[in-house]
């Protein structure tokens, strides 16, 4: 059996024909015939996404303070593929007008971006001073998006902690972070909430927690101090091919749970501030965005089926169950015991129901098999789960491979995940905040060659087929965001892989953007005519008033 046959076995027989992902033009043409914009509701929102650290650059420009990622990537370049950093990234801080024009040209309804905490509060908190230039930068971006008929969607925290707070009290390891995060969040509501109608408090708290405090592959680089508790698999957003390393400090049996607890409390407290002081007047919605893989049992056994569900509960459920039920998943209480923090009665009231929508980021699916923790094993989140994760069965990969070691293409996984979320968490409104695939940054290719990304077209088509299938079964999906608008700084993988529908030339010094075939495909898929785009812009102009704060060139 070849890898494609294995992929079809996972995908089942009720989906689209699963053609070759290796780049033939037939794939894109076939997929376009299978799914159309008109298959989705008229009010379904189509967008694309980025994050501040990955695109802005200008790391020490305009009064911005250093973030944890600035310091991590510059002080420990060995943890980043190629020893690169985000000091320049793709320079959206200076090229934002051109980038908005490209988003408009594709015909996307919405642009999801993040607000860099240390750009607006360089000292981490209000008493240290507000950076007016940072406020102006985001205000101008939002105004231009609205003027062009594009809905802004703002993420408050996308992993860039002010380094001063890390230095002062350990960032999210300390409960002090909740107050400082809430000051930052309220500043965002006050400054931008009259125009931003969709807020995301946190992006992928699992990734921030796992990579920062279990594997140590992201800031603050804390994790296992002994090889005994390191189990390696290429996890989401992990550097390709980089094994976990022993860290000089950390405790992966306690710290991840403490950090996650403070993230959840920060989210809930910010939502409470928004609802109490801003939502009625500003009329927006607020939620959180979580990431998870889907997990298939490696073997057709009861133990492996339970392990697969346990893997979802300890990745997605870790951060979603408290918002729905007021507590962590029961299986985590059983496995982790008193190392898992408890919510006080007041905190339960704060946390439970603290969302208007649930954001979901999906990229891939893994196999899961039961792996009981051995007696005497040092405690770690990885061993607590009692699950072994793999990407192949009998030597066959679970699906075609993308650019990153962790990226395998399994479209049916998004369907199973959406149905699971509906059944497990009371059918919430779901925004798919990230979905995408990467390719390796092949420097031997010309720009013309590198722009051809039929694999990405097919990836989105097949995933959209399964999103629609889930919607037909009652899953309440309202938004779909492509990750990513542009090739960018891909965290620990640096510039090694490309996720964008726009190719960015990292070598010419000007970071020129070029549309990939996927950008052109989406433009045709969305099918918006210039007259419609103009009308949308005019409607936004009437609703929000004249744009007065645009920066001059």
Taking CA atoms, 276 is separated from 196, 374, 407, 486, 501, in Å, by 17, 48, 41, 36, 39
End-to-end CA distance of the chain: 58
Give the helix ranges, DSSP H, for 170-242: 176-192, 205-213
Residue 14 burial by CB count (10 A; 0-12/13-18/19+): exposed, middle or buried? exposed
User: Which one of the listed residues 434, 439, 454, 493 is annotated catalytic?
Assistant: 434
Query: How many C-alpha atoms does 230 have within 13 Å on its Cβ side?
Result: 19
Length of the chain in residues, anyone? 553
Q: Is the distance from CB of 241 to CB of 234 less than 8 angstroms?
A: yes
Let me know if 434 is a catalytic residue.
yes
| Other CB atoms within 10 A of residue 412 CB | 24
The CA distance from 460 to 501, in Å, is: 11
The CA distance from 395 to 122, in Å, is: 50
3-state SS class at 285: strand
**Inter-axis angle of helices 25-34 and 454-472, nearest 10:** 20
Q: Which of 429, 449, 532, 522 is nearest to 198 (CA)?
A: 429
Q: Are strands 198-203 and 151-157 parallel, antiparallel or unpaired?
A: parallel
Let me know if 296 is a catalytic residue.
no
User: Which one of the listed residues 191, 204, 454, 490 is annotated catalytic?
Assistant: 204
The CA distance from 384 to 373, in Å, is: 7
The CA distance from 261 to 10, in Å, is: 35
Residue 327 burial by CB count (10 A; 0-12/13-18/19+): exposed, middle or buried? middle
Residue whose structure tokens are 């405790």: 251
Q: Is the distance from CB of 201 to CB of 185 less than 8 angstroms?
A: yes
The CA distance from 382 to 384, in Å, is: 6
**Inter-axis angle of helices 176-192 and 255-277, nearest 10:** 40
The CA distance from 432 to 418, in Å, is: 10
Non-local (6+) Cβ contacts of 514 within 8 A are: 447, 451, 502, 503, 504, 505
Residue whose structure tokens are 């993040």: 114
Going by the DSSP 8-state scheme, the letter that residue 116 receives in this structure is -
Residue ranges of E strands in 332-484: 357-362, 365-370, 387-390, 392-393, 396-397, 429-435, 439-440, 476-483
3-state SS class at 348: helix
Q: Which of 152, 89, 145, 154 is nearest to 115 (CA)?
A: 154
**CA 80, 82, 85 angle in degrees (round to 5)?**
55
| Residues with active-site annotation | 204, 434
């Amino acid at each position: 059996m070849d890898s494609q046959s294995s992929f079809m076995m996972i995908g089942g027989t009720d989906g689209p024909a699963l053609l070759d992902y290796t780049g033939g033009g037939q794939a894109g043409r076939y997929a376009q015939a299978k799914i159309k914009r008109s298959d989705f509701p008229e009010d379904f929102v189509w967008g694309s996404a980025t994050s501040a650290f990955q695109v802005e650059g200008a790391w020490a420009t305009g009064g911005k303070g250093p973030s944890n990622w600035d310091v991590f990537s510059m002080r420990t370049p060995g943890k980043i593929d190629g020893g690169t950093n985000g000091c320049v990234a793709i320079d959206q801080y200076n090229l934002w007008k051109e980038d908005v024009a490209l988003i408009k040209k594709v015909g996307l309804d919405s642009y999801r971006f993040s607000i860099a905490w240390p750009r607006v509060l360089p000292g981490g908190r209000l008493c240290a001073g507000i950076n007016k230039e940072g406020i102006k930068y985001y205000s101008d971006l939002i105004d231009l998006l609205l003027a062009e008929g594009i809905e802004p969607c703002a993420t408050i925290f996308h992993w860039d902690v002010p380094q001063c707070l890390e230095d002062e009290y350990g960032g999210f390891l300390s409960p002090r972070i909740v107050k400082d995060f809430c000051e930052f969040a309220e500043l965002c509501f006050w400054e931008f909430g009259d125009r931003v109608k969709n807020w995301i408090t946190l992006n992928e708290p699992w990734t921030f927690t796992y990579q920062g405090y279990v594997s140590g592959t992201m800031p603050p680089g804390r994790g296992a101090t002994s090889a005994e508790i390191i189990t390696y698999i290429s996890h989401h957003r992990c550097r390709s091919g980089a094994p976990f390393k022993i860290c000089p400090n950390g405790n992966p049996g306690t710290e991840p749970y403490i950090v996650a607890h403070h993230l959840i409390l920060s989210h809930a407290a910010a939502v409470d501030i928004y609802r109490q002081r801003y939502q009625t007047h500003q009329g927006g919605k607020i939620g959180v965005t979580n990431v998870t893989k889907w997990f298939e049992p490696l073997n057709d056994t009861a133990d492996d089926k339970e392990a697969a569900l346990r893997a979802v509960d300890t990745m997605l459920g870790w951060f979603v169950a408290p918002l729905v039920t007021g507590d962590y998943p029961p299986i985590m209480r059983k496995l982790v015991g008193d190392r898992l923090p408890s919510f006080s009665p007041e905190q339960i009231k704060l946390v439970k129901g603290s969302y208007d929508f649930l954001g979901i980021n999906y990229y891939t699916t893994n196999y899961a098999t039961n792996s009981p923790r051995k007696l005497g094993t040092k405690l770690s989140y990885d061993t607590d789960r009692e699950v072994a994760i793999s990407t192949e069965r009998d030597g066959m990969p679970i699906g075609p491979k993308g650019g990153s070691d962790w990226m395998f293409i399994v479209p049916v996984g998004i369907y199973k995940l959406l149905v699971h979320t509906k059944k497990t968490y009371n059918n919430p409104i779901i925004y798919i905040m990230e979905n995408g695939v990467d390719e390796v940054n092949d420097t031997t290719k010309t720009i013309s060659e590198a722009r051809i990304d039929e694999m990405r077209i097919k990836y989105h088509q097949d995933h959209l087929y399964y999103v629609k299938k889930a919607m037909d079964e009652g899953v309440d999906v309202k938004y779909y965001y492509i990750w990513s608008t542009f090739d960018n700084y891909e965290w620990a993988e640096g510039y090694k892989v490309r996720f964008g529908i726009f190719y960015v030339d990292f070598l010419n010094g000007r970071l020129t953007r070029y549309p990939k075939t996927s950008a052109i495909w989406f433009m045709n898929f969305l099918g918006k005519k210039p007259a419609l785009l103009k009308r949308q812009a005019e409607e936004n102009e009437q609703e929000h008033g004249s744009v007065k704060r645009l920066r001059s060139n």
